[in-house]
Structure 1
């Protein structure tokens, strides 16, 4: 019996490993330790994963063989890299730099071919078709180093944007060329081929950018509460797009990239869903792909077949020269820095997915032989190592220079940002927290402060414990977006007093409130809570009414009344509005006066904002109903108001939440009160601080016995 036990144990460790549990455990062990160990000798974790694949692969210790399970996870990882690259592409920045992306895509496609074709044809002695195939193969690149720029927080740098934008152009062009080469090799390059390919490719694009976004938008709206279902739906879209791309005559990686672009606007970069996508991909799927790339490499080929070594050396030289030349030309054309050139070269210098796809197809159809295949595999290893090292070095330099994605760092804000969220209704908690996560500065080390104020009565202590327990769900929800939240509970005789005191204690830069509920008779007489909070605080205040997902909007309509630019908090509020626009990838339609337009344009120019904004000039702000003509059904409404007594305050702003609620009750809306300079009246020191008492009583009685006239 003991012998049988030891036989069972020994067979479990037969090489190559066949037990799926043991295989998966080995892969996870490598994913865990490889980056940690190599980080000590300053080698990027990506290289460690590739080298680990060489060691454990069939051409190394043979601990693992290329089987269906490894191929499946490898394919998922490859598609995941391309999908995340498309998903995280800043579409606003991409539109701004699309001409640069097109130019870089053209250069990084044509330069390697112009160098590679004559070298393969005249120096290596290949025929015409194999020379074209190898030359086009060298024009491809895979975003193997993209996780590096993402981890350093520079994924929205313009150099990264054009490198990613160029990827779709060059890889699509190469894979189209591959389809043409295969057809030409078999003398099938005829009119029927072009018609079939053109129609299938057109249908593919129509489905990806015409049908998929509409289905995704509907799904996210109808299944809003099922967060797990959102992630599963995204995976379904990715693999469906990859399959659709394949049957259209292209490689699946193009479909995955297109899926990222199609869902880009519907998945904000700071959302919980994006966090889940990145976390699972970076933890499991992408490392699996990098390990599988290493498993392909056979170092013994270099010793046994010198021809493969010669071809590999030639291909490496062509690749590095071509890609570096394309990056250099891009730098010269657009006056980029040397560090940005390094980023462009690092991202475009790695050959893996598309390169492997091209050479495998060429070998399968007999266009190229074993030596070209083995030389290409060595090229993949060398290019991934060089590209990772270059990208790591350049990313560090950009971070040291303070040029990360965080826009606020350029604006010399004296203190770090602090946001406070008073929560009265837990039903509104998720929507308010989502909004806060979207507009919060990524640079600020301060967590979001979630506040609840408990009335000071005989049940105060009991209610305080109950409030703290209820807010635990807020912390759990925030953890989904990796947003740090601190809970703050306080006791006060008056809720506005408690909020004002907490805002002062935390030095809050902004207070984020839910939309005020309909007041009762007593509140109308003695003053509403919202008015009390406004009168007692000087800081920026945002009132939010979010009834449907923010990603469902196609445009942000911003109302800037006359002299709004003179308010002390105007720049802060504009920063949050443009950050919201960037996160949702929607343009801003601003309704304002000529003077305010000039101030906003000055702000955009000063802070080099890439937000897409259009203006409509409007001068009559006494009748707010007239503004309805500027609003579409799919708009997110943002209205900048002012506290009473401020320079930009107007009589039409009186009771503005109620007015907006009547006209735009079907819209998501945000009411903004910029920070004021202070100098508050004695009213705020009263027990129930609001506007003058007789004015409140008169207004309350009038609203009870007469029908209020809408403004």
Structure 2
């Protein structure tokens, strides 16, 4: 017994190890228990926080460690909501977010002022501040839509953008009302507030992407990249705090600023989501639960009256705002439910506002008691309102998001070809293998973790005893790179009479749909490779004998990629397409890859093609293309070096190729590898060879 004599089990727990262990057990056990009870996971964590908190079993105090973790979790939710947004779609729907933001601010504001002044008998300042509580909202249910894979649905984009707008307006209203109530509003107040807000937004929106772009190009270490992102989130939050805004606004703007630099298929995005969903966000939800005091139900009638008015009016007001948004933009009922669910919860900005109002003392009454801008009944009512709105938010969001996800799945099943993606990545150089895997992940479906194959081929005639050891090392790097992005990559080692024959054989055996290869690194001391009939680019500076053999003896969509910088730091992809490319057999296959790359990366993609070809690429009924894809009429195949004037720093140049004597072949294609060395050196580039009718191994079409 002496062994356990030093253990302190008095309540509340003070041992940090026991406290942390208890919370981890709750995070681990909550899904197992709640799934059987059909209670949303988020709501379960809030209830668990109420049970173990100071107002429940008093197992854990809501001390500085819980507050710190909870604050990080709240900032993480807002950061993820900005990071997950489809920025091109947000650009198209920004005015919709503005309209919804005004709906969800003005409707609760109007009802709140009337309720506070006429029903509860508050002063005009207190009524306006109470109405500000009604208008603000917290995206507590955002992890639900993120987990169900609909974070880029139009309804979610509108709700997230509207949340930032209404929270900003509500917190600015808080600042102004407190200043007016205390007599601190003068002409300089407005100048200070306006200038500080503008400076904060400019720094985050314009300076953060430049800093992040430079850092990601200079540093490839995964841990350093994650710590850098986390630092940017908190720096953005602190800048917002200095400007007089709520830190959640800065976190959201930081997510939007880094959006294009962290593709959703990248390993960095996987790490960000994993750590947030595993640690930070659950800590925040448990911390919210610790605020709930069930005794407020029985404390006094005024607290119950205020809570009832707040809950009823907030629910009605947010539903009206969601209904108006649905009617304004012709959304579905499920989308309306998601908007209502996401906008219903009140935690972060509401708590900030009520605590500020509670701490503002306007004077003393006849008994010497302080007269507060918001009294204790509002504080108690707010705690009950948080519990009620979190329940409504999680159930509504769960129902609407589940229906939308099911509809999306059915649509994808109808549109998705029956053949699965099988992408083969021949690897030999450990310096480029990670980029080849990242490129392959970017052109495949984000929801499919399978379908990647890495092949290291060894020539039987080679007498190098270390070739197998080097191959295993390269394959291991490829597998780790894929695993970091939450994808499974199958490693293949193959001995054959030559490397190209090994690639072709594996492509047949594994039913490969696409091949992603590195560009041949030409040794200037070597003599030029003899031209291969039908394959452009094999005379003079070319793509290499091995790649040429693969193209000659297979008919599979092939990408030959030469990275000059990490693909996540590329700002634009310029894709040059030959005339009549739409008449080739593999046209739809490679267009689908381009569309997936645009969706997964969020990077600007510009298609250069003849006007007749662009007609088959532009979106129209039954044919969609992401909003970040642009179209430029191009007829300069006889003067390809002139493309140098269209290139900017951090561009990636693509050429869609063709075999000789095919419909879309142009004589300039044979000179493209030379142009890449002479005119476009220093830029990442891709040569894309589509499937073509009548070519070798046509069964792969």
In the alignment, the residues of structure 2 paired with residue 334 and residue 634 of structure 1 have an alpha-carbon distance, to the nearest angstrom, of: 37
Structure 1 partner of 2:510: 506
- Tell me if structure 2 keeps the 8 A contact 1:268–1:551: yes
Structure 2 partner of 1:335: 330
1:466 deviates by 5.2
In the alignment, the residues of structure 1 paired with residue 47 and residue 581 of structure 2 have an alpha-carbon distance, to the nearest angstrom, of: 59
Name whichever of 324-333 and 306-315 sits farther off.
306-315
Q: Does 1:37 align with 2:33?
A: yes
Structure 1 partner of 2:365: none
Q: Does 1:233 align with 2:213?
A: no
- Tell me if structure 1 keeps the 8 A contact 2:598–2:626: no
Query: Per the alignment, do residues 499 and 299 of structure 1 end up closer, same or farther by CA in structure 2, a change over 3 Å counting?
Result: same
Query: Per the alignment, do residues 506 and 461 of structure 1 end up closer, same or farther by CA in structure 2, a change over 3 Å counting?
Result: farther
In the alignment, the residues of structure 1 paired with residue 628 and residue 462 of structure 2 have an alpha-carbon distance, to the nearest angstrom, of: 54
Residue correspondence of structure 1 range 583-662 to structure 2 within 5 A: 583-602=600-619, 605-654=621-670, 656-662=672-678
Structure 1 residue matching 2:686: 3-state secondary structure: strand
Structure 1 partner of 2:72: 76
In the alignment, the residues of structure 2 paired with residue 534 and residue 117 of structure 1 have an alpha-carbon distance, to the nearest angstrom, of: 72
Of 6, 9, 16, the match for 1:8: 6
Structure 1 partner of 2:679: 663
Name whichever of 123-132 and 565-574 sits farther off.
565-574
1:482 deviates by 0.8
Name whichever of 190-199 and 485-494 sits farther off.
485-494
Structure 1 partner of 2:436: 432
Q: Map Cα deviations across residues 557-579 of structure 1 (whole Å, 9 max, x no partner).
A: 12111111222222222222233
In the alignment, the residues of structure 1 paired with residue 449 and residue 13 of structure 2 have an alpha-carbon distance, to the nearest angstrom, of: 46
Structure 2: gaps of 5 or more residues: 361-371, 533-537, 539-544
- Tell me if structure 1 keeps the 8 A contact 2:449–2:487: no
1:583 deviates by 3.3
In the alignment, the residues of structure 1 paired with residue 429 and residue 469 of structure 2 have an alpha-carbon distance, to the nearest angstrom, of: 16
In the alignment, the residues of structure 2 paired with residue 443 and residue 233 of structure 1 have an alpha-carbon distance, to the nearest angstrom, of: 27
Residue correspondence of structure 1 range 77-226 to structure 2 within 5 A: 77-223=73-219, 225-226=220-221
Of 386, 390, 393, the match for 1:384: 390
- Tell me if structure 1 keeps the 8 A contact 2:420–2:451: no
In the alignment, the residues of structure 1 paired with residue 682 and residue 443 of structure 2 have an alpha-carbon distance, to the nearest angstrom, of: 23
Query: Per the alignment, do residues 415 and 162 of structure 1 end up closer, same or farther by CA in structure 2, a change over 3 Å counting?
Result: same
Query: Per the alignment, do residues 302 and 652 of structure 1 end up closer, same or farther by CA in structure 2, a change over 3 Å counting?
Result: same
Name whichever of 361-370 and 465-474 sits farther off.
465-474
1:525 deviates by 6.9
Of 549, 555, 580, the match for 2:572: 555
Structure 2 partner of 1:255: 250
Structure 1 residue matching 2:293: 3-state secondary structure: coil
Structure 2 residue matching 1:532: 3-state secondary structure: helix
Structure 2 residue matching 1:499: 3-state secondary structure: helix
Query: Per the alignment, do residues 681 and 644 of structure 1 end up closer, same or farther by CA in structure 2, a change over 3 Å counting?
Result: farther
Structure 2 residue matching 1:542: 3-state secondary structure: strand
In the alignment, the residues of structure 1 paired with residue 646 and residue 274 of structure 2 have an alpha-carbon distance, to the nearest angstrom, of: 41
Structure 2 partner of 1:708: none
Structure 2 residue matching 1:323: 3-state secondary structure: helix
Structure 1 residue matching 2:122: 3-state secondary structure: coil
Structure 2 residue matching 1:269: 3-state secondary structure: coil
- Give the alignment's TM-score, normalised by structure 1: 0.91
Q: Does 1:397 align with 2:387?
A: no
Structure 1 residue matching 2:454: 3-state secondary structure: strand
Name whichever of 587-596 and 161-170 sits farther off.
587-596
Aligned pairs, number? 675
Structure 2 partner of 1:697: none
- Tell me if structure 2 keeps the 8 A contact 1:555–1:634: yes
In the alignment, the residues of structure 2 paired with residue 363 and residue 575 of structure 1 have an alpha-carbon distance, to the nearest angstrom, of: 57
1:462 deviates by 7.5
- Tell me if structure 2 keeps the 8 A contact 1:359–1:373: yes
1:679 deviates by 4.1
1:460 deviates by 9.2
Query: Per the alignment, do residues 561 and 367 of structure 1 end up closer, same or farther by CA in structure 2, a change over 3 Å counting?
Result: same
Q: Map Cα deviations across residues 73-103 of structure 1 (whole Å, 9 max, x no partner).
A: 1111111111111111110110121111111
Q: Does 1:521 align with 2:519?
A: no
In the alignment, the residues of structure 1 paired with residue 89 and residue 439 of structure 2 have an alpha-carbon distance, to the nearest angstrom, of: 22
- Tell me if structure 1 keeps the 8 A contact 2:428–2:471: no
Name whichever of 628-637 and 425-434 sits farther off.
628-637
1:465 deviates by 6.2
In the alignment, the residues of structure 2 paired with residue 481 and residue 55 of structure 1 have an alpha-carbon distance, to the nearest angstrom, of: 37
- Tell me if structure 2 keeps the 8 A contact 1:408–1:443: no
- Give the alignment's TM-score, normalised by structure 2: 0.92
- Tell me if structure 1 keeps the 8 A contact 2:518–2:562: yes
Structure 2 partner of 1:367: 373
In the alignment, the residues of structure 1 paired with residue 566 and residue 173 of structure 2 have an alpha-carbon distance, to the nearest angstrom, of: 42
Q: Does 1:246 align with 2:252?
A: no
1:253 deviates by 1.1
Structure 1 partner of 2:319: 324
- Tell me if structure 2 keeps the 8 A contact 1:116–1:138: yes
In the alignment, the residues of structure 1 paired with residue 492 and residue 465 of structure 2 have an alpha-carbon distance, to the nearest angstrom, of: 14
1:445 deviates by 5.6
- Tell me if structure 2 keeps the 8 A contact 1:154–1:403: no
In the alignment, the residues of structure 1 paired with residue 623 and residue 413 of structure 2 have an alpha-carbon distance, to the nearest angstrom, of: 10
Query: Per the alignment, do residues 585 and 470 of structure 1 end up closer, same or farther by CA in structure 2, a change over 3 Å counting?
Result: closer
In the alignment, the residues of structure 1 paired with residue 195 and residue 359 of structure 2 have an alpha-carbon distance, to the nearest angstrom, of: 26
Q: Map Cα deviations across residues 287-318 of structure 1 (whole Å, 9 max, x no partner).
A: 00100101001001101222212211111111
Structure 2 residue matching 1:309: 3-state secondary structure: helix
Name whichever of 653-662 and 478-487 sits farther off.
653-662
Segments of 4+ moved more than 4 angstroms:
4-7, 407-410, 458-466
In the alignment, the residues of structure 2 paired with residue 661 and residue 578 of structure 1 have an alpha-carbon distance, to the nearest angstrom, of: 28
Structure 2 partner of 1:565: 582
Structure 1: gaps of 5 or more residues: 685-711
- Tell me if structure 1 keeps the 8 A contact 2:303–2:377: yes
Query: Per the alignment, do residues 626 and 611 of structure 1 end up closer, same or farther by CA in structure 2, a change over 3 Å counting?
Result: same
Structure 1 partner of 2:596: 579
- Tell me if structure 1 keeps the 8 A contact 2:434–2:478: yes
Name whichever of 407-416 and 448-457 sits farther off.
407-416
Query: Per the alignment, do residues 466 and 614 of structure 1 end up closer, same or farther by CA in structure 2, a change over 3 Å counting?
Result: closer
Query: Per the alignment, do residues 590 and 400 of structure 1 end up closer, same or farther by CA in structure 2, a change over 3 Å counting?
Result: closer
In the alignment, the residues of structure 2 paired with residue 158 and residue 168 of structure 1 have an alpha-carbon distance, to the nearest angstrom, of: 16
In the alignment, the residues of structure 1 paired with residue 472 and residue 5 of structure 2 have an alpha-carbon distance, to the nearest angstrom, of: 58
In the alignment, the residues of structure 1 paired with residue 225 and residue 293 of structure 2 have an alpha-carbon distance, to the nearest angstrom, of: 41
Q: Map Cα deviations across residues 304-353 of structure 1 (whole Å, 9 max, x no partner).
A: 22221221111111111011111111111111111111111111111111
